[in-house]
Amino acid sequence: MNVHIADLARIAAAPSRIIAGLMSGTSLDGLDIALCEFTGSGLQTEVKVLHFITMPYSQEFKEELKAISFKTEVELQKVTLLNAVIGSYSAKLILDALKEWGYPSVAVDLVASHGQTIFHAPISLHHMESFPNATLQIGDGDHIAVHTGIITLSDFRQKHVAAGGEGAPLAVYGDYLLLSSPVENRILLNIGGISNFTYLPGGRNPALVFSTDVGPGNTLMDQFVQLNYPGKYYDQDAAIAKSGTPNTELVEALLAHPFFDRPFPRTTGPELFNLNYLQNAKEAIGQLSISKEDTLASLCEFTAISIVTAIKQAIGEQPFKVYLSGGGMHNPLLVQKISEGLGFALNDTADLGIDPDAKEAVLFALLANECVAGGQTDFGHRRGIPSVTMGKISLPA
């Protein structure tokens, strides 16, 4: 038997596993690494996050990623090169993080790598009837396995698409196993570049849970700041948005897109929510000279309204709690507006034992744990939530 397959069988059968989960989202700002210890699988899964770090990308690397991301036309040679580079760079960042924590790489059983989404193309975006839903994450797992010596699982979204989904959101697979409650109705709201939530009705009925993207989280605000305030990456503590006033007509124009009428679950990305989207909304209302402050205040208002509307639509009249995660939970104006819209204060996933900044990296570690040591959760025959395990396995040699 191949020694690595024997190793994998041992890891799968062991009572616990150490898995490094890796996530880099649409902000292109760095690689989140969560070193996790798992025991059990399925609804018996228990996870302890041993260490978490965001390894920031250099400005140069961010620019390389930006040049090939979310555009219909890019340099194919660059995509090919970066597929290898992101893999080997991720391996270096994992080894650097392990060194910083004083944790030996031989003690890590598996790496679970999301890769970098460079284009997300559900049918609702491309509208080409002869083509399916599709999504592309690069940063090949073989490079990670070879350079770290650790068995690596990667490219989690393709199985979801192959089985009829849009390749996202995958959050439901982890949120259901780790964070659902027998009694409390929960919304787990992640505000990254794109915002998404998981609906977890109390009682843990897998046939009722789902995750959906809502629309933009930080991405429109971040893109606007990066273009208009050289040297700034985002509107820290919402200082700029707080100094402006939302333009009601602009907010309404931003909300007037058929994406917001699509049924749950729906998915999207910066391919749709970008500065052209903002420009089109300004043109639609014939107001091209709205101040920068008012534009940012409007983007914040729009983001909050789209989130509140989608949550209310999902939850109906039941009592529920909201648990936040993702970088947007550090934007005080956005959180205040969501909280006002819902009429109560919001919790975050730390209240459920998961560091909200680490949550998505933990999710991919959990998907690897299920792939190797667990199995499929049966969500029933539902659009957008195929009952599959995900991840491709790369051996180190």
Ligand X SMILES: Nc1ncnc2c1ncn2[C@@H]1O[C@H](COP(=O)(O)OP(=O)(O)OP(=O)(O)O)[C@@H](O)[C@H]1O
Residues belonging to the binding site for ATP are 25-32
Nearest CA among 195, 248, 252, 239 for reference residue 220: 195
Q: Which has the closest alpha carbon to 356: 213, 242, 189?
A: 189
Helical H segments across 71-140, by residue range: 76-101, 123-126
How far apart are CB 255 and ligand AH0 at their closest, in Å?
A: 19
Alpha carbons 235 and 328: distance in angstroms, whole number: 11
Judged by beta carbon distances under 5 to 8 A according to partner kind, the member of ligand X, ligand AH0, none in contact with residue 168 is ligand AH0
Q: Find which of ligand AH0, ligand X, none residue 238 binds, CB within 5 to 8 Å per kind.
A: ligand X
Which residues in the 175-234 window bind ligand X by CB under 6 A? 190, 192-194, 218, 222, 234
Q: Tell the smallest beta-carbon distance from residue 330 to ligand X (Å).
A: 3
* Identity of the residue numbered 232: K
Residue type, 226: Q
Nearest Cα neighbor of 55 from 20, 15, 81, 82 is 20
Q: Which of 17, 19, 21, 25 binds ligand X (CB under 6 A)?
A: 25
Say whether residue 137 binds ligand X (CB under 6 A): no
Q: How far is CA 167 from CA 111, 233, 326, in A?
A: 20, 28, 20
| Pair type for strands 347-348 and 392-394 | unpaired
Q: Which is nearer to ligand AH0, 98 or 365 (CB)?
A: 365
State which residue, 41 or 195, has the beta carbon closest to ligand X.
195
Report what 271 binds from ligand X, ligand AH0, none; CB cut-off 5-8 Å by kind.
none
Residues 327-366: x/- map of binding to ligand AH0 (CB under 6 A)? Answer: ---------------------------------x------
Distance (Å, rounded) from C-alpha 61 to C-alpha 118?
Answer: 14
| Distance (Å, whole) CA 7 – CA 121 | 37
Q: Which parts of this chain interact with ligand AH0 (CB under 6 A)? A: 25-26, 117, 120, 135, 167-171, 192-194, 196, 211, 213, 267, 269, 360
Residue ranges binding ligand X (CB under 6 A): 25-27, 29, 190, 192-194, 218, 222, 234-238, 326-328, 330-331, 360
